[in-house]
Structure 1
Amino acid sequence: MGVKMITLWWILPLIILGLVLGFYGRNLLDKAELHQITQDLSTPAGQDVETYDPALVSDLPEAAQRYFNFSLRPGAKLYRNVRLEMHGELGLGDKAQPNYFPFTATQFIVPDRGFTWALRSNSFPMLISGSDMMWDDQSWTRFWLFGNVPVARDGGSDDHFKSAEGRLLVELAAWSPAALLPQNGVAWTQEGPNIARAWLTTSTGRHWVDVHLNQDGQPKAYVIERWSNANAEGQYRPQPFGGTPSTFIDIEGTKIAAQVDVGNHFGTEDYFPFFKASLDKIEFF
């Protein structure tokens, strides 16, 4: 019995150490994969970029024209790619108990490729880091507690990719208006006096994002039907998703949302804004 107990006391710490090292190594690989994607995206913007002219949208429905003429000043360079630094709160709970925790994050949006979003929270005990990503034909959600404990790990499925693509559509409307110009293959319809709908065709089909506007063309909300499993059944299905901007910032003639609240079941009594973010730095390229 004594020998067995001594052996057990040696084996258990080795097993625990092996698990810790294994998780830590997986975390390093996650960071390396993300770095591989974004390492070539920090190039300063070039000079030979088309500029905005309201004539570019003169054939669009009136609400769409209003959106673009608010978002893009005549002569503004039509950069579509954007790098964002942000801070805010993420809710890990539900509407009744949001369980918000603070975060900082860096995001790249490249409309032709997708997005990357690298998060960090140093608020004890929620020492969380990780990333959300949709790039080319892959997507993932990977978050770690203390750098060693996986608290969310998903991706590699058609459902996850389609859901991530929905997030990208909302963020294009909020943070890359030039990407939605008709010259980029985007069609527009008018769904009401103050609702402009952008139609985009991707590898998963034809999708829309609605921009709700005031009379000046300032967005009041961004709304989609997102493919999501954020429901009581945990089943993927289309459901309302969207958010509201509260302030805007003008970067060399491109005006984008500087603060947003976003969540599932937008416009219903179940709406829960689990994502609240304020931009700290914006770079178009």
Structure 2
Amino acid sequence: MSFKLIYIWFLPPLVLVLAAGTLYALNMADKWQLQRINSSAQDMATPTVEQYDPQMVANLPKAAQRYFAFSIQPGTQLQARVRLQMQGELGLGDNDKPNYFEFTARQIIVPEKGFTWALRSKGFPMVIGGSDVMWGDQSWTRFWLYGLVPVAREGGTKDHFRAAEGRYLIELAAWSPAALLPQYGVEWEEVDANKARAWVTTSTGRHGIEISVDERGAPTAYKIERWSNANPASQFQYQPFGGTPERFVDIDGMQIAQKVIVGNHFGTPDYFPFFKAELTKIEFF
């Protein structure tokens, strides 16, 4: 009888310990996979770097020429890979209840590969950490509460990859303007006097990044039709995604957006700016 009582009392704690250990090991595996990708990015061979010449864009639409004139100074080393550190707010809700929480994050963008984004919330009571990744032919979104409770774990599907690719493309326009130069296979078309569209071909097809500029060529908005299920039906479809920069910073001859506000359904009444970020460190490599 006493043996049975001991068994009954010890079983629930044992199950909890085993479950916590399993989740902790899974979290560590996520971090290891992210670190492996980041290390491979650091070890990639440095591409041949050209210097920017405005003649490279002389045949583009006027709005695109102004975008590059503002974004890249003549003679600048054309580096497209970038390491970023940022802080900001991430909204988990909607316009009625945004549920913003403050975060810090580290990101790398490598045009020929994709991006990694490692996030951590700034404090209590909600401690969230994890990563959002599109790299090569894989993608995932993996966030954890207190390092033990998975609050988002998605990826490994064509839908997720196409959605992640939409984020990657919009960030090229904001943070890696050299990646959109025509010598890298990017095609441009005029939309109107203050707007041009960059067409980028990837493994999933041809995608148009719409960039609006002012008279100086400074971007005023970025927009793309992104594959997403952020809609009332939770159904994947192409829908407007984008946002606006609030100020710019010069890094090694390139002007990039230091602060951006981005969200789903950009340019429509349903626009929800769920991502507000300010760069605290920028380094091209």
TM-score range, shorter chain: over 0.9
Q: Which residue of 2 aligns with 1:240?
A: 240
Q: Alpha-carbon deviation of 1:83?
A: 0.2
Indicate conservation of the 8 Å contact 1:101/1:123, yes or no.
no
* In 2: Cα distance, 1:53 partner to 1:271 partner: 38
SS of aligned partner of 2:269: coil
Q: Alpha-carbon deviation of 1:122?
A: 3.5
Q: 1:106 to 1:190 in 2, by over 3 A?
A: same
**More deviation, 230-239/34-43:** 34-43
Q: 1:47 to 1:233 in 2, by over 3 A?
A: closer
Q: Which residue of 1 aligns with 2:113?
A: 113
SS of aligned partner of 1:154: strand
Indicate conservation of the 8 Å contact 1:45/1:284, yes or no.
no
Q: 1:280 to 1:189 in 2, by over 3 A?
A: same
Q: Alpha-carbon deviation of 1:20?
A: 0.5
Q: Alpha-carbon deviation of 1:239?
A: 0.5
* In 2: Cα distance, 1:266 partner to 1:174 partner: 16
* In 2: Cα distance, 1:48 partner to 1:42 partner: 16
Q: Alpha-carbon deviation of 1:41?
A: 3.1
Q: Which residue of 2 aligns with 1:95?
A: 95
Q: Alpha-carbon deviation of 1:91?
A: 0.5
State the TM-score, normalizing by the size of structure 2: 0.97
Q: 1:230 to 1:5 in 2, by over 3 A?
A: farther
State the TM-score, normalizing by the size of structure 1: 0.97
* In 2: Cα distance, 1:83 partner to 1:189 partner: 29
Q: Which residue of 2 aligns with 1:209?
A: 209
* In 2: Cα distance, 1:47 partner to 1:110 partner: 11
Tell me whether 1:141 sits opposite 2:141 in the alignment. Answer: yes
* In 2: Cα distance, 1:122 partner to 1:78 partner: 34
* In 2: Cα distance, 1:128 partner to 1:68 partner: 38
Q: Which residue of 1 aligns with 2:70?
A: 70
Q: Which residue of 1 aligns with 2:193?
A: 193
Q: 1:199 to 1:4 in 2, by over 3 A?
A: same
SS of aligned partner of 1:197: strand
* In 2: Cα distance, 1:201 partner to 1:246 partner: 28
Instruction: In structure 2, give the amino acid aligned to 1:28.
Output: M
Q: Alpha-carbon deviation of 1:101?
A: 0.4
Q: Which residue of 2 aligns with 1:225?
A: 225
Indicate conservation of the 8 Å contact 1:87/1:279, yes or no.
yes
Indicate conservation of the 8 Å contact 1:85/1:281, yes or no.
yes
RMSD over equivalenced CA pairs, Å: 1.6
Residues 52-92 of structure 1 deviation map (CA, whole Å, 9 limit, x = unaligned): 11000001111110110110000111001000000000001
Q: Alpha-carbon deviation of 1:117?
A: 0.2
Count of residues paired in the alignment: 285
SS of aligned partner of 2:215: coil
Instruction: In structure 2, give the amino acid aligned to 1:82.
Output: V
What are the residue-to-residue correspondences of 1:266-285 with 2, within 5 Å?
266-285=266-285
SS of aligned partner of 2:151: strand
SS of aligned partner of 1:132: strand
Instruction: In structure 2, give the amino acid aligned to 1:38.
Output: N
* In 2: Cα distance, 1:48 partner to 1:156 partner: 33
Instruction: In structure 1, give the amino acid aligned to 2:244.
Output: T
SS of aligned partner of 2:41: coil
Q: Which residue of 2 aligns with 1:249?
A: 249
**More deviation, 116-125/182-191:** 116-125
* In 2: Cα distance, 1:203 partner to 1:221 partner: 26
Q: Which residue of 2 aligns with 1:159?
A: 159
* In 2: Cα distance, 1:47 partner to 1:190 partner: 30
Unpaired stretches in structure 2, ≥5 consecutive residues: none
